[in-house]
Amino acid sequence: MRRDEFMKMARRRRLDQTLVSDEANVMALTGIRCDNAVVTKDAFYTDFRYLPMVRRFAPQGLAARDIRRLAGAMPRRAGSRIGYEASIPHSRFLELKKLAPRATFVDISKDIAALRAVKTGDEIAAIRAAAVLNCEIWKEARTRFAPGMTERDMARIIQTLMAERGDGEAFSTIVCVGANAAECHHEPDGTVWNGREPVLVDMGVKLNGVCSDMTRNIVPPRARPIYRKVYDLVLQANRAAVAAARPGMTAKALDKVARDVIRAGGFGRCFGHSLGHGVGYEIHEAPAVSKRGDMVLREGMVFTIEPGVYLEGNLGVRIEDLVLLTGNGCEVLSEGD
Amino acid sequence: MRRDEFMKMARRRRLDQTLVSDEANVMALTGIRCDNAVVTKDAFYTDFRYLPMVRRFAPQGLAARDIRRLAGAMPRRAGSRIGYEASIPHSRFLELKKLAPRATFVDISKDIAALRAVKTGDEIAAIRAAAVLNCEIWKEARTRFAPGMTERDMARIIQTLMAERGDGEAFSTIVCVGANAAECHHEPDGTVWNGREPVLVDMGVKLNGVCSDMTRNIVPPRARPIYRKVYDLVLQANRAAVAAARPGMTAKALDKVARDVIRAGGFGRCFGHSLGHGVGYEIHEAPAVSKRGDMVLREGMVFTIEPGVYLEGNLGVRIEDLVLLTGNGCEVLSEGD
């Protein structure tokens, strides 16, 4: 199905051949995870380690071929158009170019990203399961957090649960105590939690090849008024975006919904990142839900909604949910707080 | 120290400027882990997220600069030589090229790989600790393996221990029951272990930013004669290579030592991969210990010795150790079986 759309795209862009080798792209187009592959219009080139698997599992229409014979896939005619991914290593590009020196290489990274942004039924089911597990792990981890623990201790609790119940982390778990949350990409360190400060946790478990992503905050019962104010504002921005998300709007229009709420609350300059990003085989994929995100949102897209406000040396709040765009709105996959 | 050697290399190759951005290379040259960096001869360019850290921790002689000002680092003169890594994404190469259209770009990936292949004292200490932990986890995991478990169950036990005691997996843990071991890169699946078949486990824990790597086999007391024969042969090849390894020889000469043993045993065609690979910040780095590995082995290099024999649909044995090259031989970092 996605392969059909891929072939349609190849025709539309008048490509004589396509060379796809990015691991997540290969997975998305063939269902096969392989770190040494070149997928052409009609064949899956790889090495001896993977050939048996490819012979068994490649979708119809894709022959399994030895990657040492890739030269045979190259169109001979001068001016042939070859679709490739500009994300491949430059050295790899030079090798491919050498096999087809007279061809025009056309970057199709964005075309594939757009195809991948709309998830298949199987992918949605897998991401849903990963998101549910992520929430369960968060609930369990919370009960194990105790005053006196360091950020690293708390991160390890989450990492261990992710390995035990899922396939490990989709990205390095972030745990920030108090003012450390003002750094968006704080690495868990030896900072000790006294049990009264807020804690920000950004976590995503991997399960069956797909990712999840969610950020939660432990709000102390006696939070400082400024923290409470910021928390409520960020939550309001999150809810506004969840309520507004629907197919047909651009990603940047959705970004603006949340940004306007934060701006109206007087913290516009403290929301330095984009509202969200697609999630699937990779933790960051299309659509980019940002100020410049031109992609039109479509049913079946899965992305995060994660407004945040950061006051350096003081506090940070980010509330991140993973949502699935439906026919007339969106479904939050990361339930609970 | 490594930075001194890097600068020496830059002079030798007559480079007017260097642009290093691969995460592991940046780590190896500066001690700073950063996924958006360009390290030049005298500055560390990165974005606002990392600038405070770089200001604090960059080695002397490297100024912290905003990556949006990278253009200022480019030599103006036509014919200037700029050292870069051909491993960067092709799209990134095009961006850099645009900033210095008249310069000659010289690939220094291999030069940096060669510098990284010889570990510093700190790196050796870190890898040693990771290897020791890896062995401990293996011993612990073995006692938890039980008949009736699937490959996935056993892999999960290892993964959980790695998250709990280390920083997770250096690569996807491989567990193969019986004939599944004939596939070098078998993914743990639902195959159930009856407690009498051999099990192959290839595992490496990450710890403090470095990797470890080791393959062990559970040899059943009543293994089939063919399995026992292959196992003894692979062990003999492993031991021969460990005994032969010393500074001054080429990587391919060492590969040949093990390969000759396997060939003499009549299984030459069933050892399809190279003898080993360097291990450090990345799980695969220089030196490549293969048939074509031209690098001369030097004291302080850390690499795997992992001969294997694979009979499709029948069995697979690989015995992999991580070794440190010393002044007159090598030290096995992955002790025990």
For residue B108, the chain A residue with the least C-alpha distance is A91
Q: How far is A264 from chain B (nearest CA, A)?
A: 25
Mutate which of B27, B53, B90, B172 to disrupt the A interface (most A C-beta within 10 Å)? Answer: B90
Contacts of A92 in chain B (CB under 8 A): 90
Contact across the interface for A88 and B93, Cβ inside 8 Å: no
**Strand-pair category, A321-325 with A330-332:** antiparallel
What residue type is B36 in one-letter code?
N
**Beta-carbon contacts of residue B37 (< 8 Å; ≥ 6 apart):** B20, B21, B23, B26, B44, B45, B46, B50, B67
A308: pLDDT strictly greater than 80: yes
B337: pLDDT strictly greater than 80: no
Confidence grade of residue A183 (pLDDT, cut at 50, 70, 90): confident
Contacts of A50 in chain B (CB under 8 A): 185
- My answer on whether omega of the bond before A287 falls inside 30° of 0, hence cis, is yes
CATH 3.90.230.10 fits A121-332, yes or no: yes
ipTM, two decimals, is 0.83
- CATH annotation of A2-117: 3.40.350.10
In tens, the pLDDT along B259-278 reads 999 999 999 999 989 999 99
Mean pLDDT value across residues B291-304: 98
Mean pLDDT value across residues B196-206: 97
Q: What is the pLDDT of residue A148?
A: 98
Contact across the interface for B159 and A169, Cβ inside 8 Å: no
Of A87, A159, A162, the CB nearest to B91: A87
B336: pLDDT strictly greater than 90: no
Contacts of B207 in chain A (CB under 8 A): none
Mean pLDDT value across residues B88-97: 95
| Unique residue bearing structure tokens 């001194």 | B4
3-state secondary structure of A275: coil
| Unique residue bearing structure tokens 């079986």 | B337
- My answer on whether omega of the bond before B287 falls inside 30° of 0, hence cis, is yes
CB atoms within 10 A of CB A171: 14
The two tokens of residue B116 are 């990284």
CA dihedral B1, B326, B279, B17 (to 10 degrees): 30
Q: What is the pLDDT of residue A81?
A: 97
A104: pLDDT strictly greater than 80: yes
A284 phi/psi in degrees, rounded to 5: -120, 115
The two tokens of residue B263 are 């060939």
Residue B76 burial by CB count (10 A; 0-12/13-18/19+): exposed, middle or buried? exposed
Do the Cβ atoms of B43 and B72 come closer than 8 Å? no
A262: pLDDT strictly greater than 90: yes
Helices (H), chain A: 2-12, 23-30, 51-57, 90-99, 109-117, 121-144, 151-165, 225-244, 251-264
Q: How far is A163 from chain B (nearest CA, A)?
A: 5
**Beta-carbon contacts of residue B151 (< 8 Å; ≥ 6 apart):** B175, B176, B177, B180, B186, B188, B189, B190, B191, B193
**Beta-carbon contacts of residue B211 (< 8 Å; ≥ 6 apart):** B127, B130, B170, B171, B204, B279, B280, B281, B282, B283
Mean pLDDT value across residues A94-102: 94
In tens, the pLDDT along A271-293 reads 989 999 999 999 999 999 999 99
Give the CA radius of gyration of chain A.
22
**Beta-carbon contacts of residue A110 (< 8 Å; ≥ 6 apart):** A286
Do the Cβ atoms of B88 and A94 come closer than 8 Å? no
In tens, the pLDDT along B204-255 reads 999 999 999 999 999 999 999 999 999 999 999 999 999 999 999 999 999 9
Do the Cβ atoms of B315 and B177 come closer than 8 Å? no
Confidence grade of residue A199 (pLDDT, cut at 50, 70, 90): very high
Distance from C-alpha of A51 to C-alpha of A131, rounded to nearest angstrom = 33
In tens, the pLDDT along B68-77 reads 999 999 998 8
Q: What are the sequence ranges of the domains in chain B?
A: 2-117, 121-332
Mean pLDDT value across residues A9-32: 96
Contact across the interface for B92 and A90, Cβ inside 8 Å: yes
Q: How far is B89 from chain A (nearest CA, A)?
A: 4
Q: What's the whole-number average pLDDT of chain B?
A: 96
Residue A229 burial by CB count (10 A; 0-12/13-18/19+): exposed, middle or buried? middle
Q: What is the pLDDT of residue B166?
A: 95
CA dihedral B333, B32, A171, B171 (to 10 degrees): -20
Q: What is the pLDDT of residue A247?
A: 98
Strands (E), B40-156: 43-46, 63-66, 81-84, 104-107
Which run of H or E residues covers position A287? strand A285-289
A207: pLDDT strictly greater than 80: yes
What residue type is B202 in one-letter code?
D
Confidence grade of residue A321 (pLDDT, cut at 50, 70, 90): very high
Mean pLDDT value across residues A184-189: 86
Q: What is the pLDDT of residue B242?
A: 98
Q: How far is A90 from chain B (nearest CA, A)?
A: 4
**Strand-pair category, B174-177 with B199-203:** antiparallel
Measured CA to CA in angstroms, residue B209 lies from A185, B23, B331 at distances of 17, 11, 21
Do the Cβ atoms of A289 and A251 come closer than 8 Å? yes
Contact across the interface for A91 and B92, Cβ inside 8 Å: no
Question: DSSP label at B150?
Answer: B
B78: pLDDT strictly greater than 90: no
Contacts of A86 in chain B (CB under 8 A): 89-91, 94
Half-sphere exposure of A210 (CA within 13 A, CB side): 25
For residue A96, the chain B residue with the least C-alpha distance is B90
For residue A106, the chain B residue with the least C-alpha distance is B91
Which run of H or E residues covers position B54? helix B51-57
Distance from C-alpha of B9 to C-alpha of B118, rounded to nearest angstrom = 15
Confidence grade of residue A193 (pLDDT, cut at 50, 70, 90): very high
In tens, the pLDDT along A66-89 reads 999 999 999 988 889 999 999 999
Contacts of B35 in chain A (CB under 8 A): none
B91: pLDDT strictly greater than 90: yes
